[in-house]
Amino acid sequence: MGVFIRLFLVTSSLLLVTMYFYIMNTLSITTIQTKLFWEDKQANLSMLEEKIMGIQEKTNIVILPEMFSTGFSMKPEFLAETMEGETLRWMRAVAKSKGIILTGSVIIEEEGNYYNRLIWMLPNGQLGVYDKRHCFSLAGEDEHYTGGSKRLVSSVGGWKINLNICYDLRFPVWTRQSIHTDPEKEPSPEYDILINVANWPEKRSHAWKTLLMARAIENQCFVVGVNRVGEDGNGLYHSGDSMVIDPLGQTLYHKAHEEDIHTIVIEKATLEEVRSSFPFWNDADGFLIAP
């Protein structure tokens, strides 16, 4: 299957990644909810590679948690890598070997700044990136990391996927659908799936679960939230609560407290039926996101 990628700036706040190949009526997604070794890249990469290579089901996309190689650390000066670093090389090799798209966020240094950066790694080695827009000030993330300014939307086999990280989930304007209009075509939502990778503590799990469902309902899209489990180096416990939610807000998958690798197949027909039955786009407000 021939695959190539094109990157281009659509607006000041949106980076679109397009992956060209045949249109897919279904998409297979694998979520990996796992414990993480605190600030230990080698241990995490080894553990995650074993889990990924052990996936038996055919899958298109494998999703890892936020800062999957280190845990949610505020020590980027010691842990950050460049875009040519070990973790990116590992992602490229694993994606190629398994024939998947691999995604999750890592700590990246670029031009003297540190970013909590989601990597969207294609099986041919090309990639897209998204820098977390909303740094979590309650944990001091804003003191160590630079926030991003561009959304990342990827197109995979005709599925449009919006990618964000953890705390971004609390800000509905950042993830709100904008409707593409063309006088000769039907109104077209900007994306079909919202993926959020997280290190979201258990004591705020009610907010996590509620916001995932809210984003699905208000944007009439599938939502996939992938969180870690276990205690981190700061003594915070994470219950996971990774979820897949349909465009009506119904839970298709949910797992709490345990490590879990789950593959789910979602159908384009479900999405199209919801959007055609409830054409709320006709009443939506137009807006622009300020940089």
132 is catalytic: yes
Q: Is 183 helix (H, G, I), strand (E, B) or coil?
A: coil
In whole angstroms, give the CA distance from residue 195 to residue 160: 11
Adjacency order of strands within the sheet including 26-33? 127-131, 113-121, 101-110, 61-63, 26-33, 260-267
Exposure of 279 in the CB half-sphere (CA atoms within 13 A):
5
Closest CA to 230 of 92, 55, 65: 65
The secondary structure of residue 81, as a DSSP letter, is B
Alpha helices in the chain (DSSP H): 41-53, 76-79, 86-98, 141-144, 172-175, 205-219, 268-277
Active-site annotation holder among 132, 160, 209, 255: 132
Q: Of these residues, 81, 141, 160, 166, which one is catalytic?
A: 166
Q: Give yes or no: 66 in active site.
A: yes
Q: Which of 35, 41, 66, 209 is catalytic?
A: 66
| β partners of residue 18 | 6, 155
Task: Give the Cα separation of 121 and 155 in Å (integer).
Answer: 13
| Nearest of 102, 4, 18 to residue 60 by alpha carbon | 102
Assigned token pair, 259: 């490590």
Quote the tokens at residue 209. Answer: 């679960």
What is the set of active-site residues?
A: 66, 132, 166
